[in-house]
Amino acid sequence: MKKTIAMLPGDGIGKEVMQGAQEVLTVIAEQFGHEFIFTSGLIGGSAIDQRGIPLPPETLELCRNADALMLGAVGGPKWDGEPPENRPERGLLALRKELGLYANIRPVKAYECLTDHSPFKKSVLDGVDFVIVRELTGGLYFGKPSERSGKGGAESAVDTLFYTKEEVRRILTAAFEMAASRRNKVTSVDKANVLESSRMWRETAEEVKAGYPDVELEHMLVDNAAMQLIKNPAQFDVLVTENMFGDILSDEASVLTGSLGMLPSSSLSLNGLHLYEPVHGSAPDIAGENKANPLAMILSAAMMLRTSFGMEEEANAVERAVQLVLDAGKRTGDLAFENDHPLTTDEMIAEIKEGLA
């Protein structure tokens, strides 16, 4: 198969881990007789530096001409002083909105060989295998007004949590579809005891559920969900929630796997052009040091092979290589113990390529 993949490395460790995805995909193409054409675009701080804006039109054009998109990470202290509309993060938010990437799928799986690296007891991690379905183009991130006012913006500030019924229905439908192919359980997480938008979310969940008689629906308040995620994470199959709730809960859930550097994601649209990115950010504290864990990015590439290209065998091969390397005790610093000699990013990428061979 011939596929064009738009690579958007972004900033910080985004660049370092993106290298891993590209090298692994190149090996897969050779092994399975595919042709992957990699195009590359600027986004985030790198785009601000070179083009003055975080999402240049040519990047958007490049994305629209691709079969799938991969993104590293955006942001960093260098650009924290940018005006709100020109921050690196705005580039990513605009990309999600422009391309209609409304469903962010974040699988959380506890690898048995990594349980010693997690702060949790083995008994808590037993059977942890769930998916967070995060709404990605609405909610508190996109509602208007979102602004400062009074005395040059010094006196008050507002953000708005806004959803249309249709936006809520489509993300819940995505969650039910996913549960139907998994363990038939949806946990819909909201703040319906306080927020009007959550009360509409809850009603909509009940309506969508009517079309899925075999899928169990449970409602959970977000504060309780944050607690349940670490008390009894194995209870979850598909957890679906608002944009910001999902952002926070997924970083929390990553600790179950041992590291934020282990969590991949896909961001799905309705038109078949999807984006794949690790859940983590640009990690300014370790950027440029060849220390980042590239596995979240590499596992995101596996998600792309499966979801965008229907390459199940190829995706399995990547995931098997990751499992093999981890089982052999190879780890980057985020998963190493103090007296270990952790692998560099480049060494981990090389190990995965060897694992594929």
Q: How far apart are CA 75 and CA 57, in angstroms?
A: 19
Q: Which residues are catalytic?
A: 141, 191, 223, 247, 251
Give the footprint of ligand NAD on residues 7-66 (CB under 6 A): 13
Q: How far apart are CA 40 and CA 277, in angstroms?
A: 15
- Selection from ligand NAD, Mn ion, ligand IPM, none that 76 binds (CB < 5 to 8 A by kind) is ligand NAD
Q: For 154, which DSSP code?
A: T
223 annotated as a binding-site residue = yes
Structure tokens at 61: 């054009």
For ligand NAD, give the closer residue by CB, 186 or 279: 279
Asked whether 194 and 184 are in contact (CB, 8 A), the reply is no
- Which one of 8, 43, 48, 93 is in contact with ligand IPM (CB under 6 A)? 93
- Selection from ligand IPM, ligand NAD, Mn ion, none that 45 binds (CB < 5 to 8 A by kind) is none
Q: How far apart are CA 325 and CA 290, in angstroms?
A: 18
- Which one of 115, 204, 241, 282 is in contact with ligand NAD (CB under 6 A)? 282
Q: Name the one residue in this structure whose structure tokens are 């995965």.
A: 352
Q: How far apart are CA 286 and CA 260, in angstroms?
A: 13
Is 237 a binding residue for Mn ion by CB under 5 A? The answer is no
Q: How far apart are CA 90 and CA 179, in angstroms?
A: 32
Is 334 a binding residue for ligand NAD by CB under 6 A? The answer is yes
Is 351 a binding residue for ligand NAD by CB under 6 A? The answer is no
Is 247 a binding residue for Mn ion by CB under 5 A? The answer is yes
Q: How far apart are CA 165 and CA 348, in angstroms?
A: 45
* Helices 88-98 and 57-64: angle between axes, nearest 10 degrees: 40
For ligand IPM, give the closer residue by CB, 247 or 319: 247
Q: Binding site membership for NAD(+): which residues?
A: 76-89, 281-293
**Contacts to ligand NAD by CB under 6 A:** 13, 73-76, 89, 92, 260-261, 277, 280-286, 292-293, 296, 334
Binding site for Mn ion (CB under 5 A): 247
